[in-house]
Amino acid sequence: MSLSNQDLVELVAFRRQLHEHPEISNEEENTARAVVSFLKDSGPDEVLTGLGGHGVAAIYDSGAEGPTVLLRAELDALPIEELSDIPHRSQVVGKGHMCGHDGHTAILTAVGRQLGRRRTARGRVVLMFQPAEETGNGAAGVTADPRYERIQPDFAFSLHNLPGTPLGHVRLKEGVVNCASRGMRIVLTGKTAHSSMPETGTSPMPAISELMPALPALGSGSFAEDDFSMLTVTHASMGEAVFGIAPGRAEVWATLRTRLDGRMADLCEGAESLARRIAAQQGLSCEIDYHEIFVASLNAPEAVGQLRAALDAEGVSHDEAELPMRASEDFGRFGHGSRSAMFFLGSGERHPALHNPDYDFPDDLIPIGAKVFMRTVRNLLG
């Protein structure tokens, strides 16, 4: 279950190739093609492409009956300009792998390389390279694809690197690890007027002035409690950037966040009722839609047990600190119908934070992530 020095040289080079050529959510065509090409020599028994957009599933089948184990990594980068002088910095203006998905992908290809040398004794391993994690529609698209039924896993595992945690140390716990969240866009429409006669129009200004503080006030509960909810106003706009027109239209954007999916329905209902009531009082129409919908990510006890056994066997230190997180992760959808768990792999206490313009994935994590995944797979499938 080991990688040679040559393997590591090639895996690092592949990771850095991906880093130089980032593609953002729903645009990962070339990244997906590069993954398929890199895995070709490992001889997967089947490769599904175009899953949920540009997703790739490489299937390694033992030929013997047994469980299906899915390992997932993400393909997408971020619309962030990279500010660094590393030799492999992004060559695409305004886009960069500032979350480490290039490194996660390299870890999964390392697993593929080892499975190509020796299949498991039973069952199947599916390496899932998922698109559009950052926008929340990638896992939804993959799991909604009719072909996903053919690879429906019994177990699903994933990882994410975690700056602020010692290099190579793991955070792992049962239950909720990432919150549910969604973006809510509220559009308020009245009537424009000449700015000298605002009384002849219907301005959304009083409504958004009331709405912006009222929305966050809907949040409740401590983050330590299952009924926790949080609402953050992230953007607002009103009218045109001119002096001669009193506004007739406004938008308010907010992110709704809960520990559990059931609580999200209540929060949405409360926010919608509030927005519609305020709009009606001001004589405005109100339209509401949702974007970037993430379900809660819950780690199943049995799946966590498998990861803990692998971590212990490989001598990787781990604890439950800093979990759960308020941030969202669309891996949660893979837990609908399978026993799933995600672990968080430390990328250094002083490493630049995720989504920072100077972030770069630590290559030293590639063999660590790969051996944890490989041990988990071998423990389950032999």
Q: Tens digit of pLDDT for each residue in 284-343?
A: 999 999 999 999 999 999 999 999 999 999 999 999 999 999 999 999 999 999 999 999
Consecutive H or E run containing 144: helix 138-144
Which of 103, 106, 97 is closest to 359 using CA atoms?
97
The domain ranges of the chain are: 5-178+296-381, 180-294
Domain 5-178+296-381 has CATH 3.40.630.10: yes
| Cα-Cα-Cα-Cα dihedral sign, residues 79, 158, 107, 116 | negative
d(CA 87, CA 105): 20
CB 78 within 8 A of CB 95: yes
Q: How far apart are CA 263 and CA 261, in angstroms?
A: 5
Tens of pLDDT, residue by residue over 68-83, are: 999 999 999 999 999 9
Element holding 258 (H helix, E strand):
strand 249-258
Q: Is the dihedral of CA 26, 31, 35, 40 positive or negative?
A: positive
Q: d(Cα 247, Cα 224) in Å, to the nearest integer? A: 42
Burial class from Cβ neighbours inside 10 Å (0-12, 13-18, 19+) for residue 167 reads middle
User: The domain 180-294: what is its CATH number?
Assistant: 3.30.70.360
Q: How far apart are CA 204 and CA 252, in angstroms?
A: 11
Q: Residue 187: what residue type?
A: V
Supply the pTM of this predicted model. Answer: 0.95
Model confidence at 34, pLDDT cuts 50, 70, 90, reads very high
Is the pLDDT at 2 greater than 90? The verdict is: no
Please tell me what DSSP assigns to residue 248: -
Token pair 């184990």 in the structure block, residue: 69
Alpha carbon distance 171, 292 (integer Å): 26
Q: Measuring CA to CA, which residue among 345, 335, 349, 350 is closest to residue 368?
A: 345
Residues 21-32: what's their mean pLDDT? 98
Span 171-196, average pLDDT: 98
pLDDT digits (tens, 9 = 90+) for 44-61: 999 999 999 999 999 999
pLDDT one-digit tens code per residue, 120-158: 999 999 999 999 999 999 999 999 999 999 999 999 999
Where do runs of H (alpha helix) occur along 171-228? 205-214
